[in-house]
Structure 1
Amino acid sequence: MNHSGTESDNKGLVEVTKDKNGIQQVVLRNHRGASARVSLHGGQVLSWKTERGEELLFTSSKAIFSPPKAVRGGIPICFPQFGQRGSLEQHGFARNKMWVIDQNPPPLPSDSNSNAHIDLLLKPSEDDLKLWPHSFEFRLRVSLAVDGYLTMISRIRNVNSKHFSFSFAYHTYFSISDISEVRVEGLETHDYLDNLCQKERFTEQGDALTFESEVDRVYLDSSNIIAVLDHEKKRTFVIRKEGLADVVVWNPWEKKSKSMVDLGDEEYKQMVCVDAAAVEKPITLKPGEEWTGRLELSVVPST
């Protein structure tokens, strides 16, 4: 029987629970036993598991789960900025705010492959408006498909009187066997800004990106399909994106890991961040305009 993502199907596959700090979390399951867990703190996906229960996302053993600290791992949402600029905190405030479950989500194109989904909503508080004086509605749909694909659709609407600009990233922490065994494909021949060299611009020469030291780059106008190959685990993550021109690749390596309180000294070996992002050219919305940024993650066996 083909289960389309109708509301009645969605009911038994979506469970609202609380973590030990009393923060609401939503667990999505598909009929085959794959799962995803989303926290209302930050609208952050904290876990994504295969039907065999294998965890696909990295979360640090030292992650701090008490707001307003963002959780080190999963998929933090960076909005309205990626990086550090002006008076806003690094990577913006969306990942530190409490979101609500959207009771009246606008209809999205019916996705017959969607198995379970949740719609979350973030609106600015009075404090947010003091820091970033723009009125917006941020709607996020997280869905887990029949085949275990994880999809995140962000829709940001300007409900204000004047236009505003923002940068954005799905800051995805992939769980890997060993960073030295990993290669990222789909970035070859693209230009990138190297954050370790004052954002100097280079062109990717290799046929794949491999890791031997700290990497912190923004690949510009990248292709919409990127692959992260984990040789040891014999699996490949496939990243598909829409509305997001750039790809951020980050691994802090040894020295930086030791300076981060919420990351174990050796944990950089088990993670790599490959983000669908809009960094170089910010997105500008006129009053009433809406932007959509879509990320789809899947995992396939590889040699």
Structure 2
Amino acid sequence: MRMMCHAGTVTTSGDIDGVRHGSVHGLDAIVVETPHSTAAISVFGGQVLSFTPAGAGEDVLWVSPLVKSPPTPIRGGIPVCWPYFAREGQGRDVPSHGYARTARWALIAGGRTDSGDCELEFAPEGLDHLRLELRMTVRVGATLEHGLHTHNPGAEPVSMTEAFHNYFRVSDVSSVRVSGLDGLSYLDQFDDMRSHPQHGDWMLPREDGRSDRVYPGAGGVYRIVDPGLRRAIEVSVRGGRSAVVWNPGEDGAAGMTDVGPHWRDFVCVEAANVGPDVVEVPAGADHSLWQTISVTTIE
């Protein structure tokens, strides 16, 4: 499987204007600067650590100020959960959220578009023992376009789950709302995965102040409205049938050494295929999960 960039391909970041190696949040990263925005992608885990549109001020993504050093998974940004989410369909002796988020990732191709956007292709290293192959596209411009591409090189179909585990920076999770989920049913991790109806926009539940909800068969367009930062973040998804909305709340965060008192600063709205939305990749076939993240100002 090969992704061709809009402006041709190169082999090293030094060959692409505005792309360099650097350190972001103390992590080794590929740093991207375009006329429209800046971004950074961690070499460890392939996580997008930062996306800041020009004039936006605040980063769209949240990375914990208590982030641990590798090989501990990075808390924040956009972790890549692949080829399974949590430990869905797996035993207890495998890493949570799969192998991709703790692999080292290589920049294998990239280029510039006529509009100045930068499109990069990455691949994880050391995952040759798996039955599936993985590539990732990150296109940085006025929006952030993010693609996860799975190829099945074998002679039998392979089932998988996956997610972009987006951590979005917010002013206060208790004052934001998420639209695009009204009328759906969700499976509540805090209620033994029982199904409940969603009425209106998602807001952090008042009764226990935490959320871990899987929305199967979701619509694919979700909007985080944040009056405190006077902005709305829209997530538009292709190839993903599930949405996940997560925040551990104060009590849950107290037991997480890389979150702690900072739990109010983010909400996870995830593009995914999880729960009952299992993906079967036929022999010799490909599957892609795409998300586009954009930001608008609100009054």
Q: Report the TM-score range of the alignment, normalised by the length of the smaller protein.
A: 0.7 to 0.9
Deviation (angstroms), 1:125? 3.5
Aligned to 1:217: 213
Which residue among 15, 22, 39 is the counterpart of 1:17?
A: 22
Residues 28 and 43 in structure 2, CA contact (< 8 A), matched pair in contact too: yes
Q: Distance in 2 between matches of 1:196 and 1:254?
A: 14
Q: Residue 44 of structure 1 aligns with which residue?
A: 47
Residue 232 of structure 1 corresponds to 228
SS of equivalent residue, structure 1 residue 201 = strand
Deviation string for 1:81-105 (max 9, x for gaps)?
11124132111111000111224x8
Q: Which position in structure 1 is the counterpart of 2:12?
A: none
CA contact (8 A) 1:114 1:144 kept: no
The unaligned stretches of length 5 or more in structure 1 are none
TM-score between the two structures when normalised by the length of structure 2: 0.88
Cα deviation 1:269-296 (Å, max 9, x = unaligned) = 1110000000022111122110011010
Distance 1:241 1:261 in 2: 31
Q: CA deviation at 1:122?
A: 2.3
Cα shift at 1:160:
2.2
Distance 1:5 1:29 in 2: 17
Q: CA deviation at 1:161?
A: 3.1
Query: Does the 8 A contact of 1:102 with 1:120 survive in 2?
Result: yes
Secondary structure class of the residue paired with 1:210:
coil
Task: Show the counterpart of 1:165.
Answer: 159
Find the partner of 2:180 among 174, 178, 186.
Answer: 186
Structure 2 gaps of 5+ residues are: 10-14
* Paired residues of 2:80 and 2:165 also in contact (CA < 8 A): yes
Contact kept? 2:232, 2:296, Cα under 8 Å? yes
Residues 233-262 of structure 1: per-residue CA shift (max 9 Å, x gap): 110000000000010000100111010011
Given that 1:77 and 1:169 are in contact with CA atoms closer than 8 Å, whether structure 2 keeps it comes out as yes
CA separation of 1:112 and 1:136: change in aligned 2, threshold 3 A:
farther
Q: RMSD of aligned C-alpha atoms?
A: 2.4
Other structure's SS at 2:161 match: strand
One-letter amino acid matched to 1:292: S
How far residue 31 of structure 1 moved from its aligned partner, in angstroms, is: 1.2
**1:288 and 2:284 correspond:** yes
Change (3 A) 1:196 1:114: farther
State the AA in 1 paired with 2:64: S
Residue type of the partner of 2:223?
A
User: What letter is aligned with 1:189?
Assistant: G
SS of 2:84 mapped into structure 1: coil
In the alignment, the residues of structure 2 paired with residue 157 and residue 89 of structure 1 have an alpha-carbon distance, to the nearest angstrom, of 21
Where 2:278 maps in the other structure, the secondary structure is strand
What is the CA deviation profile of residues 150-177 of structure 1, one whole-angstrom value per residue up to 9, with x for unaligned ones? 1101111011233211100100000000
Q: How far apart, CA to CA, are the structure 2 residues paired with 1:270 and 1:216?
A: 16
Identity, % of aligned pairs? Answer: 26
Q: Does residue 101 of structure 1 match 2:107?
A: yes
Aligned to 2:193: 199
1:268 and 2:270 aligned: no
The verdict on how the C-alpha distance between 1:125 and 1:139 changes in structure 2, with shifts beyond 3 A counting, is closer
SS at match of 2:235: strand
**Are the aligned partners of 2:104 and 2:125 in contact in 1 as well (CA < 8 Å)?**
no
Does 1:245 pair with 2:241?
Answer: yes
Q: How far did 1:112 drift?
A: 6.3
Residue 114 and residue 140 in structure 1: after superposition, are their counterparts in 2 closer, same or farther (change >3 A)? Answer: farther
Distance, in Å, in 2 between the alignment partners of 1:117 and 1:70 is 25
Q: How does 1:291-302 map to 2 (within 5 A)?
A: 291-302=287-298
8 Å CA contact 1:25–1:37 kept in 2: the answer is yes
